[in-house]
Amino acid sequence: MNIAFDAVPLISDKMTGIGWCEAGQTTAMARLYPENSYTYNFFSRKDDHIKLDRLKPFSENIKPKIAHFSGYIYRASSTLLPIPYSSFFGKDADITHFFNYIAPSGVHGRTVITVHDMVYKAFPETVRSRTKFMLNSGLKKSMKRADIIVTDSEFSKAEILKYFPAHEKKIRVVPCGVDTEKFKPCEDLSRIPEVKASLGIEGDYFLYVGTIEPRKNLERLINAYNIFVSRVKDAPKLILAGGKGWLYDSIFQRVTDLGLTERVIFTKYVPAADMNPLMCGATAFVFPSIYEGFGMPPLEAMACGVPVLASDAASLPEVTGDCAVICDAYSEEGIADGLEKLYSNDELRADLSRRGLERAQKFTWERSAEILYDVYRELI
């Protein structure tokens, strides 16, 4: 097969979870099935070398294919005019996969799109206006154009069907994976205090990694942490590591209002090389998100052997199974109880660490790529 991947999520200056999902699935597929031809398609009006550098970690077995035109202009104009994608990228591909919801018109061969979640429908107030506009104006058309719609979890499949029931026969679930070379028990324990010092962290800590935005339930987590602090002397700090997302000001303000600025630490940017030691040094990983299409951070923590507190919302129980402390996403007392349970029970933490490691091994990118490849074979 000639398989093309839309590379837009991989060439942005700050890769999100969508980009890491594409990177994991595409690189694993190219390794597992080298008999095929693979390309990364992207538009570039200028600075090709910057985009090629960003692709380099993922392109060992996948060739870049550049259309020298503004991707922004193409995407904006194609919402009004059916400009064929094949006019820019030709007609060689048997399958073209778009990993970020939207597929343009005029794609040669079969078209696959990944729809990661329905947060813009379920919690529209937590989504940027331009993202809502893009999805409201383009997703319905894209789902009609697609031969197959891929999504990350059974939860997300059910959510898609809630809003777009006509596409039931097109939907296939392809779970995400975890990079077990990057996320694993720390082999050099001296790196943990080094990384803590670089981020201004002293003593024990609970860790959250993810975007700082409302749907991650961080205000409720901060309130719950305040309850926990009132119960426990010398409580671990709460470390929030992640980029600023959307409507984040109230999250920072909540820490100030509760007088927790010495206990709740928002980190500076954490380099990729420091993420594993930061994760492995945590007393527990906390992720009480309200809405996740899959929820990769808890799985990454489990792969590091770190016990996890996760909410009972959305796909998180599907990902963590019985290998995490599960709390009510909407109960501050419940989240605080979960923090106290993890902090006070050494045996529980050890048991969750062991079982979490075992569960994480079931979610490899190789397994994810095999399932996705079966979808492609079904089409051809």
Model confidence pLDDT, tens digit, residues 176-188: 999 999 999 999 9
Which of 65-69, 101-105, 124-128, 271-275 is predicted with the least confidence, judged by mean pLDDT?
124-128
What secondary structure does DSSP assign to 207-260, as a single string?
A: EEES-BSGGGTHHHHHHHHHHHHHHSTTPPEEEEE--B-SS-HHHHHHHHHTT-
Closest CA to 186 of 252, 274, 265: 274
Residue for token digits 């200056």?
A: 13
Task: Report the percent of the chain where pLDDT is more than 70.
Answer: 99
Please check the confidence at residue 246 and state whether its pLDDT lies above 80.
Answer: no
Q: Check residue 75 and give its pLDDT.
A: 86
pLDDT digits 0-9 by tens, 144-170: 999 999 999 999 999 999 999 999 999
Sheet containing 284-287: which strands, arranged edge to edge? 264-266, 237-241, 205-209, 284-287, 308-311, 325-327
The values of phi and psi at residue 46, to 5°, are -160, 170
Residue for token digits 């007609």?
A: 91
Please check the confidence at residue 55 and state whether its pLDDT lies above 90.
Answer: yes
What is the average per-residue pLDDT within 63-92?
91
Mean pLDDT rounded to a whole number for the chain: 94
Task: Quote the pTM value.
Answer: 0.91
Q: Check residue 15 and give its pLDDT.
A: 82
pLDDT band at 130 (very low <50, low <70, confident <90, very high): confident
Burial 326-345 (b: 16+ CB within 10 A, else e): bbebebbebbbbbbbbbbee
